[in-house]
Amino acid sequence: MTLSDGVPFTPTYGTGGDPSNSGSSDDFAYPNRLGGPGCSSLTNPGHPENYIKTQCFAIPTAPNLAFWNANCTPNPPNFGPIADPNNPGGGLPPLVCFNLRGNAGRNIMIGPGITSLDFSVFKNNHIRRISENFNVQFRVEMFNIINHPNFAPPGPGDGNTDIFDATGATLAPTLVQGGTAGLLVRTTVPERQIQFALKFIF
């Protein structure tokens, strides 16, 4: 029986789109982590279609227009302050600041754990006519017998750690058709496998 916690991973946004206009080849950015109802935990265990609670993240924003004018780079360039697309309406919208580092840290989320049970049955058949020690052993070996799906955590190579694209638009699968944020696409343990074997011992 194997039981383990998942491995940590990092929420990002804009990978491949250089949201901060840094010119770096390692161009991902960190979003802001939000508080509020339901955000004490940042994942939805048991939901591979939206494992990350995307509503608990936002693009970093400037506290006021003066700060934005002094420090923030618009994206796309030369467009001026941009209202947060994830918080429309209601008073003055926050000012998205793409080159401001978000407060969400590295490895703040834990991926799915592993639950797997391997089981084997074998029967010894001693054949004394051949020799005292000659044994034909029939084996049935079952791996992940409970057929539990064990998903790999979101990873940068899969594109599913990005909460938003480089323009600040959400990538939440529940809000956008084809969205990939928090979508679990790989497994760490294969599905149930059963094999039969004969083992000759002499």
Q: What pTM, to 2 d.p., does this model score?
A: 0.76
In a domain, 22, yes or no: yes
Owning domain of residue 168:
1-112+151-187
pLDDT of residue 80: 56
In a domain, 119, yes or no: no
In a domain, 140, yes or no: no
In a domain, 174, yes or no: yes
The one-digit pLDDT tens for each residue of the chain (202 residues) are: 999 999 999 999 888 887 777 777 667 788 999 988 889 999 998 888 889 999 999 988 888 878 888 888 665 555 556 655 555 554 445 688 888 888 998 999 999 999 999 999 999 999 988 888 899 999 999 999 999 999 998 886 677 888 988 888 888 887 777 788 888 988 999 999 999 999 999 8
pLDDT of residue 91: 47
* Largest CA-CA distance found in the chain, in angstroms, rounded: 95
Q: Which residue(s) pair with 9 in the sheet?
A: 109
In a domain, 123, yes or no: no
pLDDT of residue 85: 53
Angle, vertex CA 158, rays to CA 152 and CA 163, nearest 5:
100
pLDDT of residue 79: 54
Nearest to 57 by CA among 12, 1, 19, 99: 12
d(CA 23, CA 117): 48
pLDDT of residue 140: 96
In a domain, 144, yes or no: no
How many structural domains is the chain composed of? 1
In a domain, 120, yes or no: no
pLDDT of residue 176: 76
HEC string of the chain equals CEEECCCEECCEECCCCCCCCCCCCCCCECCEECCCCCCCCCECCCCCCCCECHHHEECCEECCHHHHHHHCCCCCCCCCCEECCCCCCCCCCCEECCCCCCCCCCCCEECCCEEECCEEEEEEEECCCCCCCCEEEEEEEEECCCCCCEECCCCHHHCCCECECCCCCECCCCCCCCCCCCCCCCEEECCCEEEEEEEEEC
In a domain, 121, yes or no: no
For 199, other C-beta atoms within 10 Å of its C-beta total: 11
